[in-house]
Amino acid sequence: MHHSIPIMNPFSSTLPFLSLFILLLSISSATSSGQVDNFLQCLPTQSHRSFPIADAILTPANSSFQSIYQLRANNLRVLSSATSRPLAIITALHPSHAQATVICAKRHGLQVRIRSGGHDYEGLSYTSSVPFVILDMFNLNSIKVDMKTETAWVQAGATTGELYYRIAEKSKVHGFPSGVCTTLGIGGHFSGGGYGFLMRKYGLSIDNVIDAELIDANGRILNRKSMGEEVFWAIRGGGTTSFGIILSWTVKLVRVPPKITVFTVQRTLSQGATELAYRWQQVAPKLPKDLFIRLQPEPINNNNNNKTIRVSFIGHFLGQTDRLVQLMNANFPELGLTQNDCLEMSWVESALYWAGFPNGTSIDVLLDRVQTSRVFYKTKSDYYKAVIPREGLETLWQVLMDIENIFVQLNPYGGRMEEISDTATAFAHRAGNLFKVQYTITWSESDGGLSAAARFIELSRRLYRAMAPYASSNPREAFINYRDLDVGSNESGETDFEVAKEYGTKYFRNNFFRLAGAKAMIDPENFFKNEQSIPPLPTSPAH
């Protein structure tokens, strides 16, 4: 998620949550106490004796249980509406704790939800409607950067910010293509693709992954060789939680210049923003790979207190100002970029710029692992294969002004994204896309909190319907890491193949069927599941 979501008041008091929580616990404890006792007794028998798992187990009896549950539950809309809580949280301190969680949960009929950073937009990493435990990977956050081989080994619980920091410690001319938000857990972020401002130059995070460690449904730790190429293909972009638990990724670092250039140029409707946004669609996907320009429209009140739209053009160039201004004058002169709009900085400083930190902020902020300012939100996504006509942009502007509490980001494709085949990894949104869009509506307690959720969700659907004539169709494609249960979902505890096909083809296009085949190889009993997981491919009936 982008770090510049308008920050609103997190909930002013946890008391209503706490009383609801205690009530729910008393109900659930009656039904599953035996199950959970057996699970808890099983754990020490399956984990490494030198690393006692008792230190990693939290149950509702622990005073820190509720705070740990909430701390990495990023969406207040989900957190405050969840009707059941985990029976236990295993905050793994050693890989064997994760292995034990799988073995014991499977043995005693509990579901496992896997959480690294807690940024799942629909909260599937920390909620379920069947008895479940959370395996929290947050403490498994080691990073080893090897400059000899230009690689890094990154555990699932590390954040994007930590990865950027550790690379910058070792080199001023290396980086990694990954997310803009600096508190994303690497485990989940990479598994859905992982994209950011280096996407047009180096592709997605998964396009630069060379190995991984995965715990399967039998509790075994597999690497690329032992899991096999088909499963390794699936976990790169297919959402790892359908296949197992990601322990670590090994990635190839990428080269960046010692100085790069960033800019933000803003124009309102009266300053020609519509025409510029129309032109951006034609230009941004075709620019040289070194240049990435995000378009971000937002509703504002102008000086006369009338609503208007302000469009930000946010740029990242792997080079210096002189060359950038030349390129812009040749390709997008209408924007009128000048030297004064541009800032030169190191690559790691540019990561801070994109995350919305003020210029001059110390890079130590990358080590802050938890996003403290949380809001209620609902996100949807779209892919566009054709330019939105001017009247389509005007429709978009009108809906944004009606909604008010919204930001929209249009991220250009082309460049490296166009060169990589849509079957090279499980991530299928490649050539043919001009840009990807994220629509996020945010609100706070002062806007009505949970009681306002239905209204804001309906507004998000209204916007989605309004843009249907211009977005991709058959299927209308969506991005798995901008998770949206509106595109189709199963029950928590069972995965119907036909329903899965509905959301699966939107997220993965034709790769869905190959993913289901990989699932049948690695997890034929469908132990790892959630509301939008991939089921095993059914075996064809004999003829």
pLDDT for position 32: 64
Strand partners, 406: 441
Inter-axis angle of helices 390-403 and 273-283, to 10 degrees?
Answer: 120
User: Residues near 367 by Cβ (< 8 Å), separated by ≥ 6?
Assistant: 161, 162, 165
348 SS3 class = helix
Contact status, residue 191 vs residue 239, Cβ threshold 8 Å: yes
Give the closest residue to 125 by CA, choosing from 81, 72, 65. 72
Q: What is the rounded CA–CA span in Å between residue 443 and residue 451?
A: 11
Contact 129, 118 (CB under 8 A): no
CA separation for the pair 101, 92 (Å, rounded):
9
Q: What is the pLDDT of residue 17?
A: 41
Instruction: Please tell me the predicted confidence (pLDDT) of residue 33.
Output: 80
289-342 tens-digit pLDDT: 999 999 999 999 987 779 999 999 999 999 999 999 999 999 999 999 999 999
pLDDT for the residue 419: 98
Summarised one tens digit per residue, pLDDT across range 514-539 is 999 999 999 999 999 999 999 999 98
User: Which residues of the chain carry a pLDDT beneath 50?
Assistant: 1-31, 542-543
What is the spatial distance between Cα 73 and Cα 2, in angstroms, rounded to a whole number? 16
C-alpha 364/C-alpha 361 separation (Å) is 8
Q: Looking at residue 304, what is its pLDDT?
A: 78
Percentages helix, strand, coil for the chain (3-state, rounded to 5) are 40, 20, 40
* CA dihedral sign, ordered 74, 79, 81, 86: positive
Instruction: Identify the residue whose tokens are 């280096």.
Output: 198
Largest CA distance in the chain: 73
Measured in degrees and rounded to the nearest 5, phi and psi for residue 494 equal: -145, 150
CA distances from 260 to 197, 317, 411 (A): 12, 6, 19
pLDDT at 372 (0 to 100):
81
pLDDT score of 540: 65
d(CA 382, CA 379): 11
